[in-house]
Structure 1
Amino acid sequence: MGLANNFRFSRRHIVGALTLGSLGLVACGKSSTEASSKAIRVGLVDWVGYSPLYVALAKGIFKELGIDLDAKTFQGNNEEKIAFVGGRLDGAADVLSSGVELANSNKDFRIVMVIDRSVGADGILASNKIADLKGFQGQKVALEEGTVSHYFFLQVLAGVGLTGKDITIINASPGDAAAAYQSRNVDIAVTYAPFLGKANAIRKDGRIIYDSSKNPYAIADIYEFDARFIEEHPDTLQAFVTGFFKGLDYIKAHPEESAEIVAKELKITVAEVTEFLKGVQLADIPTNLDMLTNPASQGYVPKTMATLAQFLLDQGQIKAIPDLAKLIEPKFVLAAQKA
């Protein structure tokens, strides 16, 4: 069985039809027509970085804080974004590069928190016959176009003086890209955990030539919320943000139990959860404040987004650089610090 069939992982990738299912650990199943002032609808895709939310739901933390949380899991980031833009979600888990693209739309939203950042979970697999990154020129590369993996790869290419025109992309999902590399159909693939480590272990004549630990601020997951929802339901959103961080606190205090909760939700093993979390830094309150409010920080989100915006503009992925300064709203993290 190929890697693509072994895991229920679909983090941040694009597929065709809009299909969504409620998270197995959902706290409340109210429809949007039944939504109360304490109801909140959020979206996400399967990803170990969202462990604090899974744990907070499982332990009833959001209920204790008085909110009815409807968390919907999507097959891919594109479907989630469609639901968010269409008003079927109040908030959406996203990545910074996708957030820059969303800022070019008519959607009025704010980034209220950083969820995690990739510190090795995303990477590039390459055959040993490819000596270095410059050796990518003229090669076929399996990756999923238009996703965080694509942007990550283009940034790596730019670092050695290459562009997307110097390689041939084989468009494939993260799992299929890893499987193509594993079966030697391609000599380069861009993917992320769990596919990254599995394919690397199986194909002995290759290695992970580059991973996100070398650029730990390039890939970060964030939570975006609708601007009108923020204005009309600040207390509900505050409870969500506070609950998320309480979920992270629970993980730190009870790592084994928490790993079991996440493993059950993602349908992987506890050992895999533990291994995959090594490549992700779950963003606690101090990390959030550093990335959202400290202009001197290497990970300052507005600065990272500005760099991404210029890069996406140069690559023709966006038509103009949006007003990024207005997107950051750190007040809920600041208040959670005092909770």
Structure 2
Amino acid sequence: MTAPTRVLVLSPVFHGYWRSLERALAGLGHDVTTVTYDEHRGLGRLAAKLGHDLPERLGGSDARRRAVLGARARTAVTAHDPDVLLVVKGDAFDDGFWELVEARRQRRVLWLYDELRRTGHTDASLAAAGPVASYSPLDVEALTARGLPAAHVPLAHDPDLPVGAPRPTDDVVFVGARYPAREALLTGLAAREVPVRAYGRDWSGHPVDRLRTWRMGTPGVPAGRDLPRPDAYAAMAGARATLNVHGDQDGVTMRTFEACGVGAVQLVDRADVGRYYDPGAEVAVFDGVDEAAELAGRAATDRPWAEGLRRAGRARTLAEHTFTHRARALEALWTA
């Protein structure tokens, strides 16, 4: 372990993952403060929806939001004066923020859990961000080719987060956002009489969730509302199997590590998951709805196989894929 440092984490609220990162860094002996730069409370949440989100959905500029969040981040940096600044995502900041950290000669690392094409980062912000740690192997290659320091740091599971009591069900569950590829898979499985159930605001028919996601209708899949992470983990662990659907992402999702970490039977759509897990022994890989339906059926009938996936996937996660493992990788970047 390196000497303790005062680390300021600037992170989105995003499902509270900042707590897992903060806990892991503190476990390595660092003095950690986190500022969730996009958090809005009470009436501030409504003001952000009406003042930022709605105009942007109608084609307006994101300049106002970037100025507000950039100012909030600058205030945090100057107030805390950290030894190391760890920015998570950080594409919502204006140029003034990156100019500040460059002027301070601030030791810093940027950690990305999305492909660059899905972010608002610019050439200037990436050049100013310091070493870039990305979950995307392709982005790491591209950044390195441009002469920018970059490293592949995957996402992770937090074994210290309490898991709700798993309730065994025959459901094949999906927890996450609704994208076209995911909806197509789940509706295809439902048509094949696989007992699927999706959880999340994009799937839920609750009026509040429709309003939050700016939509009128609901997909034709049995669904529940958003689950807090402990309850989501319990749903995955207790289900017959849990689906992990990526679409056009080249990095693997947080769910990849969480599902195995809680001992779920993970059905995943990525053959290249072999970089992290042993297909067939720790996860089950499918290509298309028919193969997913076949594996879902096997999870119900071949219990030794399913239990083997649960045990082996969890063991591999705890050995290699926790937030503590990722915190060590980030630490190596700012000490290099």
Q: Larger Rg: 1 or 2?
A: 2
TM-score relative to the length of structure 2 = 0.28
Higher relative contact order (CA 8 A, sep 6+): 1
Q: Which has the higher strand share?
A: 1
